[in-house]
Amino acid sequence: MHACCAPCSSYVLEYLSRYFDITLFFYNPNMDSREEYDKRRAELERLVASMGLDIKVLAPDYDPKEFYETVRGHEKDPERGERCGLCFGLRLRRTAELAREARDRGEPYDYICTTLSISPLKDAALLNLIGQEEASRLGEHFLSSDFKKREGYKRSIELSEKYGLYRQDYCGCVFSKVDRGA
Ligand code: SF4
């Protein structure tokens, strides 16, 4: 499961860990700085430990180059615009690739998924469409979701408070940070 941050992962982990053995993939080259990247990754690892879950967190080193190349020409798009679709595509493509690599090693995952649909600012239909495309291209299966529904977002706020999680006030990229500041 692609994980964007600890608050978004909280409810999704609580819910899905009843049904699945999960591996988390913290792949977010869209972060505006290494400091923010490290902070969100550390919070995710702390959350998993605090919830007592036996879940591996895979986290590549921070490398924003791919993100800036992917969204070139869309720097001024508003949040929820085309830039976000490209950003989702990058993160879900890499998640599908990771699953494919595991399948080729003989350790397949049943599904790939993302925590991103829990955010009220994220278009779940678009995320699901992109996820399905990226997964099926590599022979993987995408678990469609809209985790914000059925009080999922509300529960993520409760869990964030319970575990004292860092809740950032911008999506992650430098463009969203500037917008939030404005
Ligand atoms: S606003 Fe969020 S989803 Fe959109 S490009 Fe920036 S980091 Fe990605």
Which ligand 1 atom is the nearest neighbour of the CA of 175? Answer: 6
Nearest to 9 by CA among 42, 63, 67, 48: 48
- What are the tokens at 10? 């909280």
159 lines ligand 1 (CB under 6 A): no
Let me know the angle formed at the C-alpha of 66 by 122 and 168, rounded to the nearest 5 degrees.
Answer: 40
How far is the C-alpha of 74 from the C-alpha of 72, rounded, in Å? 5
Domain count, the chain: 1
122 lines ligand 1 (CB under 6 A): no
Q: Which domain holds residue 86?
A: 6-181
Q: Whose CA is nearest to atom 2 of ligand 1?
A: 171
83 lines ligand 1 (CB under 6 A): yes
Radius of gyration, alpha carbons of the chain: 15
**Cα distances (Å, whole numbers) of residue 115 to 10, 35, 51, 152:** 9, 21, 17, 11
Domain harbouring 34, CATH code: 3.40.50.620
Query: Is this prediction's pTM over 0.75?
Result: yes
CB burial of 38-61 (b: ≥16 within 10 Å; e: otherwise) equals ebbbebbbebbeebeeebebebee
Q: Let me know if residue 1 belongs to a domain.
A: no
3-state helix, strand, coil in the chain (%, to 5): 50, 5, 45
Q: Let me know if residue 54 belongs to a domain.
A: yes
Per-residue pLDDT of the chain (182 residues; tens, 9 = 90+): 999 999 999 999 999 999 999 999 999 999 999 999 999 999 999 999 999 999 999 999 999 999 999 999 999 999 999 999 999 999 999 999 999 999 999 999 999 999 999 999 999 999 999 999 999 999 999 999 999 999 999 999 999 999 999 999 999 999 999 988 77
